[in-house]
Structure 1
Amino acid sequence: MTESSEQLDALCRNVVRLLDAARGPVHTLRVVAGDAAVELIWPQPEPPVPGAGQAASRPPEVESASAAADGAEICAPTVGTFYRSPEPGSPPFVTEGDLVEAGQQVAILEAMKLMNPIEADRPGRITKIIVADGDPVEYGQPLFLISPDS
Protein backbone atom coordinates (compact mmCIF):
# COMPACT_ATOMS: atom_id res chain seq x y z
CA MET A 1 0.00 0.00 0.00
CA THR A 2 1.41 3.40 -0.93
CA GLU A 3 1.63 6.30 1.48
CA SER A 4 -1.09 8.15 -0.44
CA SER A 5 -3.50 5.21 -0.32
CA GLU A 6 -2.76 4.75 3.41
CA GLN A 7 -3.60 8.42 3.97
CA LEU A 8 -6.82 8.04 1.99
CA ASP A 9 -7.75 4.90 3.94
CA ALA A 10 -7.14 6.65 7.29
CA LEU A 11 -9.06 9.69 6.06
CA CYS A 12 -12.08 7.58 5.09
CA ARG A 13 -12.07 5.87 8.50
CA ASN A 14 -12.04 9.29 10.18
CA VAL A 15 -14.89 10.53 7.98
CA VAL A 16 -17.01 7.53 8.99
CA ARG A 17 -16.16 8.17 12.65
CA LEU A 18 -17.11 11.85 12.35
CA LEU A 19 -20.42 11.05 10.64
CA ASP A 20 -21.26 8.46 13.30
CA ALA A 21 -20.62 11.05 16.02
CA ALA A 22 -22.62 13.83 14.34
CA ARG A 23 -25.42 15.10 16.60
CA GLY A 24 -27.66 16.23 13.77
CA PRO A 25 -28.00 16.32 10.02
CA VAL A 26 -24.75 16.89 8.15
CA HIS A 27 -25.00 18.94 4.97
CA THR A 28 -21.32 19.40 4.01
CA LEU A 29 -18.21 17.63 5.19
CA ARG A 30 -14.69 18.34 3.89
CA VAL A 31 -11.67 16.59 5.35
CA VAL A 32 -8.11 17.12 4.11
CA ALA A 33 -5.00 15.15 5.11
CA GLY A 34 -1.85 15.90 3.17
CA ASP A 35 -2.61 15.49 -0.54
CA ALA A 36 -5.77 13.48 0.12
CA ALA A 37 -9.16 15.15 0.52
CA VAL A 38 -12.74 14.00 0.83
CA GLU A 39 -15.75 16.27 0.41
CA LEU A 40 -19.33 15.10 0.89
CA ILE A 41 -22.32 17.33 0.16
CA TRP A 42 -25.90 16.31 0.84
CA PRO A 43 -28.66 18.32 -0.83
CA GLN A 44 -30.67 20.57 1.47
CA PRO A 45 -34.31 19.48 1.66
CA GLU A 46 -36.62 21.95 0.01
CA PRO A 47 -39.00 23.71 2.38
CA PRO A 48 -42.57 22.43 2.14
CA VAL A 49 -44.96 24.41 0.02
CA PRO A 50 -47.80 25.75 2.20
CA GLY A 51 -51.00 23.82 1.50
CA ALA A 52 -49.27 21.06 -0.49
CA GLY A 53 -49.92 17.50 0.67
CA GLN A 54 -52.22 18.44 3.54
CA ALA A 55 -54.94 16.08 2.35
CA ALA A 56 -52.56 13.10 2.58
CA SER A 57 -51.37 13.76 6.14
CA ARG A 58 -52.95 14.49 9.49
CA PRO A 59 -52.75 18.05 10.77
CA PRO A 60 -49.87 18.64 13.21
CA GLU A 61 -52.21 19.34 16.13
CA VAL A 62 -53.80 15.89 15.72
CA GLU A 63 -50.37 14.20 15.64
CA SER A 64 -49.16 16.01 18.77
CA ALA A 65 -52.41 15.23 20.61
CA SER A 66 -52.02 11.55 19.68
CA ALA A 67 -48.39 11.50 20.88
CA ALA A 68 -49.39 13.22 24.13
CA ALA A 69 -52.06 10.56 24.73
CA ASP A 70 -49.50 7.77 24.25
CA GLY A 71 -46.85 9.44 26.44
CA ALA A 72 -43.53 11.25 26.20
CA GLU A 73 -40.74 9.95 24.00
CA ILE A 74 -37.38 8.61 25.12
CA CYS A 75 -35.15 9.43 22.14
CA ALA A 76 -31.74 8.26 20.92
CA PRO A 77 -28.96 10.57 22.13
CA THR A 78 -26.74 9.55 19.18
CA VAL A 79 -26.67 7.29 16.14
CA GLY A 80 -25.99 3.64 16.78
CA THR A 81 -27.46 0.18 17.18
CA PHE A 82 -30.31 -0.27 19.65
CA TYR A 83 -30.24 -3.20 22.09
CA ARG A 84 -33.00 -4.03 24.58
CA SER A 85 -30.86 -6.31 26.79
CA PRO A 86 -27.33 -6.17 28.25
CA GLU A 87 -26.20 -9.17 26.18
CA PRO A 88 -27.67 -11.65 23.70
CA GLY A 89 -29.99 -14.15 25.37
CA SER A 90 -30.52 -12.16 28.56
CA PRO A 91 -33.86 -10.59 29.50
CA PRO A 92 -34.59 -7.06 28.22
CA PHE A 93 -34.06 -4.08 30.51
CA VAL A 94 -37.78 -3.22 30.21
CA THR A 95 -40.91 -4.48 28.49
CA GLU A 96 -44.13 -2.70 27.60
CA GLY A 97 -46.15 -2.06 30.74
CA ASP A 98 -43.12 -1.89 33.07
CA LEU A 99 -42.86 0.91 35.62
CA VAL A 100 -39.53 2.75 35.53
CA GLU A 101 -37.85 5.38 37.67
CA ALA A 102 -36.03 8.46 36.39
CA GLY A 103 -32.44 7.44 35.64
CA GLN A 104 -33.26 3.73 35.25
CA GLN A 105 -31.54 2.05 32.31
CA VAL A 106 -34.03 0.96 29.65
CA ALA A 107 -31.70 0.00 26.76
CA ILE A 108 -28.20 0.21 25.28
CA LEU A 109 -27.11 2.14 22.21
CA GLU A 110 -23.90 0.87 20.62
CA ALA A 111 -21.97 3.58 18.79
CA MET A 112 -18.47 2.92 17.49
CA LYS A 113 -18.01 -0.14 19.76
CA LEU A 114 -19.01 1.93 22.82
CA MET A 115 -22.06 0.77 24.79
CA ASN A 116 -24.06 3.83 25.87
CA PRO A 117 -26.82 3.29 28.43
CA ILE A 118 -30.23 4.72 27.56
CA GLU A 119 -32.02 5.90 30.71
CA ALA A 120 -35.56 7.02 31.42
CA ASP A 121 -35.61 10.78 31.93
CA ARG A 122 -38.75 10.61 34.09
CA PRO A 123 -40.67 8.09 36.16
CA GLY A 124 -43.59 6.35 34.49
CA ARG A 125 -44.83 3.31 32.60
CA ILE A 126 -43.32 2.13 29.30
CA THR A 127 -46.35 2.20 27.00
CA LYS A 128 -44.60 1.35 23.73
CA ILE A 129 -41.23 0.10 22.51
CA ILE A 130 -40.86 1.70 19.09
CA VAL A 131 -37.57 0.20 17.85
CA ALA A 132 -36.77 -3.50 17.39
CA ASP A 133 -33.76 -5.06 19.09
CA GLY A 134 -30.65 -4.72 16.90
CA ASP A 135 -32.06 -1.97 14.67
CA PRO A 136 -29.90 1.00 13.66
CA VAL A 137 -31.21 4.32 14.98
CA GLU A 138 -30.59 7.98 14.21
CA TYR A 139 -29.93 10.88 16.57
CA GLY A 140 -33.21 12.04 18.12
CA GLN A 141 -35.20 9.03 16.90
CA PRO A 142 -37.93 7.99 19.37
CA LEU A 143 -37.14 4.66 21.06
CA PHE A 144 -39.85 4.36 23.74
CA LEU A 145 -43.06 6.03 24.82
CA ILE A 146 -43.41 6.58 28.57
CA SER A 147 -46.55 7.76 30.36
CA PRO A 148 -46.94 9.01 33.91
CA ASP A 149 -48.21 6.22 36.14
CA SER A 150 -51.55 7.29 37.52
Structure 2
Amino acid sequence: MSTVAAPEDTEVVEEEALAGLRRQAQHLIAELTGPVRRIRLRSGPAVLEVEWHPENATRPDAPATPATAEVPPAARPPAAPSAPGRAAVRAPIVGTFYRSPEPGARPFVAVGDLVRPGQPVAIVEAMKLMNEVTADRAGRVVAILVEDGQAVEYDQPLVELDPA
Protein backbone atom coordinates (compact mmCIF):
# COMPACT_ATOMS: atom_id res chain seq x y z
CA MET A 1 0.00 0.00 0.00
CA SER A 2 1.40 3.39 -0.94
CA THR A 3 0.37 6.81 0.25
CA VAL A 4 0.42 9.97 -1.79
CA ALA A 5 1.37 13.19 -0.01
CA ALA A 6 -1.15 16.01 -0.13
CA PRO A 7 0.02 19.13 -2.01
CA GLU A 8 0.22 21.04 1.29
CA ASP A 9 2.49 18.34 2.78
CA THR A 10 4.75 18.49 -0.28
CA GLU A 11 5.04 22.28 0.03
CA VAL A 12 5.99 22.02 3.71
CA VAL A 13 8.63 19.39 2.94
CA GLU A 14 10.05 21.52 0.11
CA GLU A 15 10.13 24.63 2.34
CA GLU A 16 11.96 22.66 5.05
CA ALA A 17 14.39 21.32 2.45
CA LEU A 18 15.08 24.84 1.16
CA ALA A 19 15.59 26.11 4.71
CA GLY A 20 18.10 23.31 5.30
CA LEU A 21 19.89 24.08 2.04
CA ARG A 22 20.04 27.77 2.97
CA ARG A 23 21.63 26.91 6.34
CA GLN A 24 24.16 24.64 4.60
CA ALA A 25 25.02 27.37 2.10
CA GLN A 26 25.49 29.95 4.88
CA HIS A 27 27.86 27.64 6.76
CA LEU A 28 29.78 26.81 3.60
CA ILE A 29 30.08 30.46 2.54
CA ALA A 30 31.24 31.46 6.04
CA GLU A 31 34.10 28.95 5.78
CA LEU A 32 35.32 30.14 2.37
CA THR A 33 38.12 32.69 2.19
CA GLY A 34 37.42 34.24 -1.20
CA PRO A 35 34.41 35.44 -3.12
CA VAL A 36 31.90 32.71 -3.91
CA ARG A 37 31.73 31.79 -7.59
CA ARG A 38 28.99 29.16 -7.48
CA ILE A 39 27.29 26.87 -4.97
CA ARG A 40 24.59 24.44 -6.00
CA LEU A 41 22.87 22.36 -3.31
CA ARG A 42 20.09 19.87 -4.01
CA SER A 43 17.76 18.01 -1.66
CA GLY A 44 15.07 16.09 -3.51
CA PRO A 45 13.12 18.57 -5.62
CA ALA A 46 14.59 21.60 -3.80
CA VAL A 47 17.63 23.26 -5.38
CA LEU A 48 19.53 26.25 -4.05
CA GLU A 49 22.05 27.91 -6.35
CA VAL A 50 24.23 30.86 -5.31
CA GLU A 51 26.78 32.64 -7.48
CA TRP A 52 28.85 35.78 -6.96
CA HIS A 53 31.31 37.23 -9.41
CA PRO A 54 34.42 39.16 -8.48
CA GLU A 55 33.99 42.92 -9.02
CA ASN A 56 36.36 42.99 -11.98
CA ALA A 57 34.88 39.98 -13.81
CA THR A 58 32.49 40.42 -16.69
CA ARG A 59 30.13 37.93 -18.25
CA PRO A 60 30.64 37.35 -21.95
CA ASP A 61 26.89 37.74 -22.58
CA ALA A 62 26.58 40.96 -20.57
CA PRO A 63 26.48 44.28 -22.39
CA ALA A 64 29.56 46.45 -22.04
CA THR A 65 29.16 49.10 -19.36
CA PRO A 66 30.74 52.53 -19.61
CA ALA A 67 33.54 53.37 -17.18
CA THR A 68 31.28 55.93 -15.48
CA ALA A 69 29.01 53.06 -14.32
CA GLU A 70 31.67 51.77 -11.94
CA VAL A 71 30.92 51.90 -8.23
CA PRO A 72 32.98 54.69 -6.65
CA PRO A 73 35.49 53.47 -4.04
CA ALA A 74 33.67 55.37 -1.27
CA ALA A 75 30.48 53.37 -1.94
CA ARG A 76 32.21 50.00 -1.71
CA PRO A 77 32.19 48.21 1.62
CA PRO A 78 35.42 48.53 3.59
CA ALA A 79 37.66 45.49 3.39
CA ALA A 80 38.53 45.41 7.09
CA PRO A 81 37.58 47.02 10.39
CA SER A 82 39.00 50.52 10.84
CA ALA A 83 40.97 49.99 14.06
CA PRO A 84 43.66 47.35 14.61
CA GLY A 85 42.73 44.66 17.11
CA ARG A 86 39.02 45.00 16.41
CA ALA A 87 36.87 42.38 14.74
CA ALA A 88 33.96 42.82 12.36
CA VAL A 89 30.76 40.85 12.15
CA ARG A 90 30.30 40.49 8.40
CA ALA A 91 27.31 40.03 6.11
CA PRO A 92 26.80 36.34 5.31
CA ILE A 93 24.86 37.16 2.13
CA VAL A 94 23.91 40.03 -0.19
CA GLY A 95 20.71 41.68 0.98
CA THR A 96 19.15 44.39 3.15
CA PHE A 97 20.51 45.05 6.66
CA TYR A 98 18.11 45.36 9.61
CA ARG A 99 19.16 46.16 13.18
CA SER A 100 15.96 44.81 14.79
CA PRO A 101 13.79 41.72 14.32
CA GLU A 102 10.79 43.79 13.18
CA PRO A 103 9.88 47.45 12.63
CA GLY A 104 9.55 49.32 15.92
CA ALA A 105 11.32 46.62 17.95
CA ARG A 106 14.50 47.23 19.96
CA PRO A 107 17.70 46.67 17.97
CA PHE A 108 19.54 43.40 18.52
CA VAL A 109 22.60 45.35 19.75
CA ALA A 110 23.68 48.94 20.36
CA VAL A 111 27.08 50.59 20.73
CA GLY A 112 28.48 49.64 24.13
CA ASP A 113 26.67 46.29 24.40
CA LEU A 114 28.62 43.16 25.24
CA VAL A 115 27.99 40.24 22.87
CA ARG A 116 28.84 36.58 23.13
CA PRO A 117 29.60 34.11 20.33
CA GLY A 118 26.42 33.04 18.54
CA GLN A 119 24.41 36.05 19.72
CA PRO A 120 22.24 37.65 17.00
CA VAL A 121 23.41 41.17 16.12
CA ALA A 122 21.31 41.87 13.00
CA ILE A 123 19.28 40.41 10.14
CA VAL A 124 20.08 40.46 6.44
CA GLU A 125 17.02 39.97 4.24
CA ALA A 126 17.62 38.27 0.91
CA MET A 127 14.87 37.11 -1.43
CA LYS A 128 12.27 37.57 1.33
CA LEU A 129 14.24 35.29 3.67
CA MET A 130 15.47 36.72 6.95
CA ASN A 131 19.05 35.58 7.61
CA GLU A 132 20.16 36.01 11.20
CA VAL A 133 23.63 37.51 11.57
CA THR A 134 25.44 36.29 14.68
CA ALA A 135 28.66 37.30 16.38
CA ASP A 136 31.43 34.76 15.90
CA ARG A 137 33.29 35.95 19.01
CA ALA A 138 32.72 37.81 22.26
CA GLY A 139 33.31 41.53 22.45
CA ARG A 140 31.90 45.00 23.02
CA VAL A 141 30.06 46.69 20.16
CA VAL A 142 32.07 49.81 19.26
CA ALA A 143 30.34 50.71 15.97
CA ILE A 144 27.36 49.83 13.83
CA LEU A 145 28.83 50.29 10.34
CA VAL A 146 25.61 50.13 8.30
CA GLU A 147 22.38 52.13 8.43
CA ASP A 148 19.12 50.26 9.07
CA GLY A 149 17.48 49.28 5.77
CA GLN A 150 20.69 49.73 3.74
CA ALA A 151 21.72 47.24 1.04
CA VAL A 152 24.82 45.24 1.96
CA GLU A 153 27.23 43.07 0.01
CA TYR A 154 28.56 39.63 0.86
CA ASP A 155 31.33 39.82 3.51
CA GLN A 156 30.73 43.53 4.15
CA PRO A 157 31.54 44.54 7.76
CA LEU A 158 28.31 45.31 9.62
CA VAL A 159 29.22 45.62 13.29
CA GLU A 160 32.64 46.36 14.78
CA LEU A 161 33.61 44.58 18.02
CA ASP A 162 36.38 45.26 20.50
CA PRO A 163 37.33 41.80 21.81
CA ALA A 164 39.08 43.23 24.90
The TM-score by the shorter chain falls in which range? 0.5 to 0.7
8 A contact 1:24–1:139 mirrored in 2: no
CA RMSD of aligned residues (A): 2.8
Give secondary structure in 2 for the equivalent of 1:67. coil
The structure with the largest alpha-carbon Rg is 1
In 2, Cα distance between the equivalents of 1:133 and 1:141? Answer: 14
- Give matches, 1:54-69, under 5 Å: 67-69=83-85
Question: 1:42 and 1:127, CA in 2 relative to 1: closer, same or farther beyond 3 A?
Answer: farther
- Give matches, 1:70-109, under 5 Å: 71-109=86-124
In 1, Cα distance between the equivalents of 2:161 and 2:64? Answer: 34
TM-score normalized by the length of structure 1: 0.60
Aligned residue-pair number: 103
The CA deviation string for residues 44-99 of structure 1, in whole angstroms up to 9 with x for no partner, is x9xxxxxxxxxxxxxxxxxx795215x11111111100000000000000000000
8 A contact 1:102–1:123 mirrored in 2: yes
Tell me which residue corresponds to 2:126: 111
**Identity among equivalent pairs (%):** 52
Tell me which residue corresponds to 1:137: 152
In 1, Cα distance between the equivalents of 2:158 and 2:115? Answer: 15
Structure 2 alignment gaps of length 5 or more: 1-49, 68-79
Tell me which residue corresponds to 1:124: 139
In 1, Cα distance between the equivalents of 2:101 and 2:58? Answer: 36
TM-score normalized by the length of structure 2: 0.55
Matched, 1:25 2:54: yes
